[in-house]
Structure 1
Amino acid sequence: MEAQTMDHQTPYYPPIRPFAAAAAMFRLMRNPQDTRQVFLLTEALRGRSMASVLERFRNSPVGACILAEQRSLVTILSDQARLAAMKPGSFGRTYYEFMAEEDLSAQGLVELGADNAISLHRSSQDAQIFGARMRDMHDLYHVLCGYGRDEVGEICVLAFSYPQQKIRSFAVISRGGMYRIARMVSKLGGSGKMVRHAVQEAARHGKQAAWLPGEELESMLEDDLAAVRARLNIPAPTIYRQLITDIRAKTGRPTGPLVLNTH
């Protein structure tokens, strides 16, 4: 009998591992800066969740082109000289400034994912390209949506991303993080309810916006950021901005990194 070989487009769906997911979520809530736990939680809950979104991507004009070219978004986002040379106020220049201010690199998430996104390595070629693109879009979402890298901003980006990408861990983290941060803000004398409203606003914006996985965001990098946001129907995160202003007033940190006291 002829030996069977796996076609490079054969789908692979890892089993859902609830105990591993719970452990990763517990560690993440104890240390929100431990980004590795996000990858582990995503792995544990992945299952078949990517299937329908990948199919939609395949059937979109932009997605079909990206898959055919095997295009790498991280390669484009790693060209810092090109991004830095773009005009002030452009999408690409703002992304460059955001990454520089936060001391981040486009390769950072790649390195984290290399060890922790195990099931993606066993997936079809299309799934690997698509999964890598979704990973590399995360910091672009921060810039497009106007969310910082503070704890509230991170869970708001995930709340925005869930309607777009249907990654289960995003819903779990944004919901769990919302309640955790609401309690912390309340202890500071702020409004825990406003935290919930900010996350809910982010989720609404994610539902209302254009479907970003099907957009060629790299072709918009030289465009004015405000124009890109309008084109993609991404409104300003007004509740989030007011919340951050209030938290800064309560903590006495009008500028600089905003770290909530978790103790």
Structure 2
Amino acid sequence: METHHLAGSRTRDETHRRLPRLSHPAGDLPRSSMEGWHPLYPGHIPTSPLQKALLAAGSAVMALCDPYRHDMVAVLGETTGCLALPNLRDKMKNHPEGYRILQERPRIRLSTLDMARLQGLPDGSLGREYVRFLEDNKVSPDTRMPPKFVDDEELAYVIQRYREVHDLMHTLLGMPTNMLGEVVVKWFEAVQTGLPMCVLGAAFGPVRLSSRKLQVLATELVPWAIRSGLNASCVLNVYYEQRWEQPVESLREELGIFPPPPVRV
């Protein structure tokens, strides 16, 4: 029995040596396209323009059917952001605080946040209101998916940063995570970032809202979100991790975000 086991092992080893080893995450690509390939960042999956188009179409359909499919929303953002992401990167490079963020690459994760310190900050401060938002809506910054389909390491960080400050946009805008609140934030982000994913969410998100909420959205919230998005400086140029003590109202005023309208969302 032992001799048979050893012989079987040799056979498997020889077979393994004869087979090509596929270390590429997209192992079904032609071998010629894999030679000399190196991942741009952990988890990166290279895709052709056609593959990106197919991924964008499929993820758009899934995201419209279920707006809470964050994985599909993430894929849509990565495969359609080829024009918006370089523009956002350039805005960050041309701003002192944004440039420092690009250089230092901070991450907003539970592992990087001192939750006890943030909970102890005064009411109204960015850190305290951010933690309150996470607790009230039962969300975590760790749910933000890492990028996969962005074929530039720096741009991959830009979209990662956008995802990780999304909850801070909710905090600054005073919007919950229900459908109405998400649509309002998407309108603001669409104007701010130009990402097609945000435009799509802003345009098609309201189809699930009641007539009463649609009226509030159209007459109060969307005009405010658009005006604020146009008036505000780029929200990716804020080193939020160094602003936790700053009052939310002060940061809104600094950025140029108008106070939220007095309506229940």
Deviation at 1:160, TM superposition (A): 0.5
Deviation at 1:75, TM superposition (A): 6.2
SS at match of 1:144: helix
Deviation at 1:218, TM superposition (A): 2.2
* Per-residue CA distance 1:159-217 (angstroms, 9 max, x = gap): 11122222111011111113x03xx412xxx2634323423431221111122111222
* Structure 1 segment 141-160 matched on structure 2, within 5 A: 141-160=169-188
Matching residue's letter, 1:185: S
Aligned counterpart, 1:15: 49
Aligned counterpart, 1:98: 133
* Per-residue CA distance 1:203-249 (angstroms, 9 max, x = gap): 221111122111222222112222222222212231xx5363xxxxx
C-alpha change, 1:14 and 1:131, in structure 2 (3 Å) is farther
Query: Partners of 1:175 and 1:144 in 2: how far apart?
Result: 22
Asked whether 1:119 is paired with 2:153, we answer no
Deviation at 1:59, TM superposition (A): 2.1
Asked whether 1:30 is paired with 2:30, we answer no
Query: Partners of 1:168 and 1:195 in 2: how far apart?
Result: 20
SS at match of 2:245: coil
CA contact (8 A) 1:164 1:213 kept: no
C-alpha change, 1:48 and 1:14, in structure 2 (3 Å) is farther
Matching residue's letter, 1:212: V
Of the structure 1 ranges 45-54 and 25-34, higher mean CA displacement relative to structure 2 is found in: 25-34
| Equivalent position to 2:257, from 231, 234, 247 | 234
CA contact (8 A) 2:137 2:176 kept: no
| Equivalent position to 1:185, from 204, 210, 215 | 210
Unmatched 5+ stretches in structure 1: 245-263
Asked whether 1:225 is paired with 2:248, we answer yes
* Structure 1 segment 48-63 matched on structure 2, within 5 A: 48-63=83-98
Aligned Cα root-mean-square deviation (Å): 2.8
Of the structure 1 ranges 89-98 and 64-73, higher mean CA displacement relative to structure 2 is found in: 64-73
- Higher Rg of the two aligned structures: 2
Query: Partners of 1:213 and 1:235 in 2: how far apart?
Result: 18
Query: Partners of 2:79 and 2:65 in 1: how far apart?
Result: 18
Deviation at 1:22, TM superposition (A): 3.6
C-alpha change, 1:169 and 1:75, in structure 2 (3 Å) is same
SS at match of 1:210: coil
Aligned counterpart, 2:11: none
Asked whether 1:135 is paired with 2:156, we answer no
* Per-residue CA distance 1:88-112 (angstroms, 9 max, x = gap): 2211101101101111111111xxx
Deviation at 1:14, TM superposition (A): 6.4
* Per-residue CA distance 1:63-105 (angstroms, 9 max, x = gap): 2222222332436863211211211221110110110111111
Query: Partners of 1:95 and 1:88 in 2: how far apart?
Result: 10
Matching residue's letter, 1:166: G
Identity %: 22
SS at match of 1:41: helix
